[in-house]
Amino acid sequence: MMTTTKAKPRRAIESGVPDPFPQMHPVLKTNYGNWAWHERPRPGVLRHVAHGGDQVWTVRAGTQRQMDVHTIRKLCDIGDEFAEGHVRFTSRSNIEYMVSVEAKVAPLVEALNVAGFPVGGTGNSMSMIGHTQGWLHCDIPGTDASGVVKSLMDELYQEFVNEDMPNRVRITTSCCQINCGGQGDIAINVQYTKPPVINHDLVANVCERPAVVARCPVAAIRPAMVNGKASLEVDEKKCICCGACYPPCPPMQINSDEGTKLAIWVGGKHSNARSKPSFHKLVVANLPNNPPRWPEVAGVVKTILYAYKNNARDWERMGEWIERIGWPRFFELTDTPFTRHHIDDFKGARHALNASAHIRFQTGALDG
């Protein structure tokens, strides 16, 4: 009787970035780090040429961030039939197909458009809107970030498939004030306007009170006894309505129809190309959280986007344009009212007060 040795399962690597080379397109693998130049033949298509003469065309298409298995299979079928079986996803939920023959580009683009996946998002266009998890996965969302993205992309479709912006435009959405979406030329973030409402009957059974107290960034939460039960209380004069207490203690409900709003921020960017990285700044507050189409948010975003498109110089990012014309002129061009919410009165932000949004490094801070 023959005995077979059971193969040991491959041990998962749980630290660092997964090795990309086994799944990489052969032309990319052969010429890794050896590219001579690249160009964009049309919106959504990149052409890279290696020093040795090899070429590869990349076709980028927009997808939704949260997809069912049927949609993923459809995208893979397109890659098998019209591309060369290799795909990758970008950080903004775009899918990219690589082909080594130019003749495959046009049929691939047509197949993606017919299937409902628009080709674009390269160069000086509006890229796919980056967003956080929303109601599907996150434990503290104040709105459905993916729903906001869907409603905006429906109205800004032409800005994705064409390259006629002054520079690239990065829009982000975050479904709470932690701002996991990061900095953006335009950012749509949830704004909590009221302190949490505490269900004192559940706190003792659900929450680890010391952890909740420690979680508050302004020390507005302290232990309390309410109706003979161990609970928590909030100093509403200190509370900044950030929502940080809600994840470790769901009975401290921060979301409500009246208290959860949306705010628009502008001028942020992560890169240091042409200018320093910068934080986005608040321009519109207290917009209604109005699903499923969020018309008030869409109206403000389009007004800001087209003011930038019509007035910025070539290659200026949103923040660079605002820095050049000044904030008063920005509020005029976007027909946006200036309110008390725009006043930066944080005592530690002396460099930012009525000045630049650029990140500043203290002299010598990076030495040694």
pLDDT in tens, 82-108: 999 999 999 888 999 999 999 999 999
- Per-residue model confidence (pLDDT) at position 341: 67
- Does 213 score more than 80 pLDDT? yes
- Per-residue model confidence (pLDDT) at position 18: 78
pLDDT in tens, 329-351: 999 999 998 877 676 655 554 54
- Does 156 score more than 60 pLDDT? yes
- Does 74 score more than 50 pLDDT? yes
Residue 363 or residue 145, greater confidence: 145
DSSP one-letter code for 342: G
Interval 219-233 mean pLDDT: 94
- Per-residue model confidence (pLDDT) at position 347: 55
pLDDT band at 249 (very low <50, low <70, confident <90, very high): very high
Residue 258 or residue 96, greater confidence: 96
- Does 11 score more than 80 pLDDT? no
What's CA 93's distance to the chain center, in Å?
A: 10
- Per-residue model confidence (pLDDT) at position 15: 74
CATH topology of domain 197-253: Alpha-Beta Plaits (3.30.70)
CATH class of 21-114: alpha beta
Furthest CA-CA distance within the chain:
87
- Does 367 score more than 50 pLDDT? no
User: CA 300 to CA 284: how far, in whole Å?
Assistant: 8
- Per-residue model confidence (pLDDT) at position 4: 67
- Per-residue model confidence (pLDDT) at position 126: 95
- Per-residue model confidence (pLDDT) at position 346: 54
- Burial status of residue 250 (CB atoms within 10 A of its CB: 0-12, 13-18, 19 or more): middle
CATH topology of domain 130-193+258-342: Sulfite Reductase Hemoprotein; domain 1 (3.30.413)
Of the candidates 244, 122, 132, 240, the one whose C-alpha atom is nearest the C-alpha of residue 188 is 132
* 8 Å CB contact between 187 and 200: no
- Per-residue model confidence (pLDDT) at position 344: 64
Strand partners, 262: 190, 287
Interval 65-90 mean pLDDT: 93
- Per-residue model confidence (pLDDT) at position 131: 85
Asked whether the CA dihedral 191, 193, 197, 203 is positive or negative, the reply is positive
- Does 368 score more than 80 pLDDT? no
- Per-residue model confidence (pLDDT) at position 345: 57
Query: Hey, how many other C-beta atoms are within 10 angstroms of the C-beta on 342?
Result: 15
250: cis peptide before it, omega within 30°?
no
User: CA 114 to CA 132: how far, in whole Å?
Assistant: 28
- Per-residue model confidence (pLDDT) at position 170: 94
| DSSP string for 281-293 | EEEEEEEE--TTT
- Does 353 score more than 50 pLDDT? no
The chain-wide mean pLDDT, for the chain, equals 88
| DSSP string for 41-66 | EETTEEEEEETTS-EEEEEEEE--SS
- Does 267 score more than 70 pLDDT? yes
Strand partners, 45: 42, 59
Strand partners, 282: 265
User: What is the radius of gyration, based on Cα positions, of the chain?
Assistant: 24
User: CA 241 to CA 360: how far, in whole Å?
Assistant: 27
Query: Hey, how many other C-beta atoms are within 10 angstroms of the C-beta on 157?
Result: 14
Residue spans of the domains in the chain: they are: 21-114, 130-193+258-342, 197-253
Strand partners, 233: 222
User: CA 63 to CA 119: how far, in whole Å?
Assistant: 10
Of the candidates 65, 353, 301, the one whose C-alpha atom is nearest the C-alpha of residue 187 is 301
| DSSP string for 105-148 | HHHHHHHHHHTT--B---SSSBPPPEE--GGGT-SS-SS-HHHH
Interval 285-306 mean pLDDT: 94
- Per-residue model confidence (pLDDT) at position 17: 76
- Does 352 score more than 50 pLDDT? no
pLDDT band at 6 (very low <50, low <70, confident <90, very high): confident
* 8 Å CB contact between 174 and 260: no
pLDDT band at 319 (very low <50, low <70, confident <90, very high): very high
User: CA 149 to CA 107: how far, in whole Å?
Assistant: 28
Fold: same for 21-114 and 130-193+258-342: no
- Does 361 score more than 70 pLDDT? no
